[in-house]
Chains A and B, each alone.
Chain A
Amino acid sequence: MEESQAPVMAEGGGEDKKMKVLVAVEETEGSLYALSWALDNLFTSASDVPDKTESLGRLVLIHAQQPLQHFMHPVGPCMTDPHHPVYATSSVIDSVRRAQEQNSRNLLERATQVCRSKLVEAEMVIVDGDPKEMICQFAEQMQADLLVVGSRGLSKIRRAILGSVSDYCAHHATCPVLIVKPPKGNHP
């Protein structure tokens, strides 16, 4: 059985051990901790090369933005017709979108700094859509060797929503999934 499995696993020689690692970055402490855990444990090498990524693989950070709701529920007198929700004006959409993009940029900026402090260059990707689906899709597209997600890094309210990103990925990603828990004693 090992003979038949070996060609699948070890294509080529020693250099093919480089990993393409996709790290899901969210606005949570748990997620940034997952990133630094991944950097510490997946991208270490004996020698201190200026850019460790070169020798050790490719690190991609992915941040998924929730799609904007383009309509708002009417709360005023226009509730007469529930089938025609009030659409937000384009200026409102724009400012919400800009705020969201600013948020994402800040987040990725922080993530880049974490990477740089560990001497690892990372690529950034921002995708729109449902985080869990987009992350798994992207992992498949880029043929990631490993998908890293944080877990339980949030308050109880959002845990129900985002705790399921790691769950979803664990079930649906086609590649190995690494779920990083925050260290004990950390407040979400």
Chain B
Amino acid sequence: MAAKAEDASTAEAVGKAVMVVGIDDSEHSFYALQWTLLHFFSPAVRPSGSYKLVIVTAKPTPTSVISVASPGATDVLPFVESDLRKISSQVIEKAKDICAAHSVLDVEYEVVEGDARNVLCEVVDKHHAEMLVVGSHGYGAIKRAVLGSVSDYCAHHAHCTVMIVKKPKPKH
């Protein structure tokens, strides 16, 4: 009986389309998350809540952040690693707060190590997601020059619909 109940709940979970939201510690991605919750998960719009939400943040590898190979580099690695881990967990905590504020409860949170571009596409494939949401300029200042193209990469390579949410520029 317990197995049957489990099957039923998995079947229910499978029936829901999955939406993956990629976030990092930038304002843009939290804006994107809030926008998504507002327009896709509010009770007024979706009374049955027909998307399952997966929020993922990519944690860069410490070696990818330190690009200069210097004698002291290996000593710094553990500190960088714990910093990165702290940032990622703060990001997830904030995401949890935002979801709670919008009364969205059926959420899965993932921290995946690696480059954001690959991580997001992999998570999409893993969950067979229907939709991927990313902010624009969704990466920290260090890599923004290179990874302003995270949204680009995902728009081209993700195997699902991609939504790029931009923070509106303030009108002067």
User: With an 8 A cutoff between CB atoms, is A44 at the interface?
Assistant: yes
* Contact status B164-A179, CB under 8 Å: yes
Q: Which residues of A contact B151 (CB under 8 A)?
A: 170
Chain B residues contacting A181 (CB-CB under 8 Å) are 158-162
Contacts of B50 in A (CB 8 A): 44
> Contact mask A168-185 → B, CB, 8 Å, 1/0?
001001111111110010
Chain A binding surface, main DSSP class:
mixed
Report the separation of the CA atoms of residues A29 and B23 in the bound assembly, to the nearest whole angstrom: 32
| Contact, CB under 8 Å: B35 / A166 | no
Question: How far apart are B95's CB and chain A's nearest CB, in angstroms?
Answer: 11
Closest Cβ–Cβ distance, residue A110 to chain B (whole Å): 21
Report yes or no: A145 in contact with B39, Cβ–Cβ below 8 A: yes
Asked if A176 meets B47 with Cβ closer than 8 Å, knowing A2-B97, A5-B30, A166-B155, the reply is no
The answer to whether residues A15 and B44 also contact, given A175-B166, A176-B163, A176-B164 and a CB cut-off of 8 A, is yes
Give 1 or 0 for each of B39-54: 1 = CB within 8 Å of chain A CB: 1001111111010000
Q: Total number of A-B contacts with CB less than 8 angstroms?
A: 80
A80 at the interface (CB under 8 A from B): no
Please, which residue of chain A has its CB at the minimum distance from the CB of B148? Answer: A171
Interface size (B, Cβ < 8 Å)?
37
A5 lies within 8 A of B34 (CB): yes
A151–B161 alpha-carbon span in the complex (Å): 9
Q: Do A176 and B161 touch (CB < 8 A)?
A: no
Q: Which residue of B lies closest to A44 (CB)?
A: B50
CB distance from B40 to the nearest CB of A (A): 8
Complex Cα–Cα for A45 and B164 (A)? 23
For residue B152, CB closer than 8 A to chain A, the reply is: yes
Residues of B within 8 A of A (CB): 17, 27, 30-32, 34-35, 38-39, 42-48, 50, 97-98, 101, 130-131, 136, 151-152, 155, 158-166, 168-169
A-B contact pairs, 27 of them (CB 8 A): A1-B27, A1-B30, A2-B30, A2-B98, A5-B34, A8-B168, A10-B38, A14-B44, A19-B39, A37-B161, A41-B130, A41-B131, A44-B46, A46-B47, A146-B39, A167-B152, A167-B155, A170-B155, A174-B168, A175-B168, A176-B163, A176-B165, A178-B162, A178-B163, A180-B161, A181-B162, A184-B159
**Interface residues, chain A, with chain B CB atoms under 8 Å away:** 1-2, 5, 8-10, 14-15, 17, 19, 37, 41, 44-46, 56, 145-146, 151, 166-167, 170, 173-181, 184
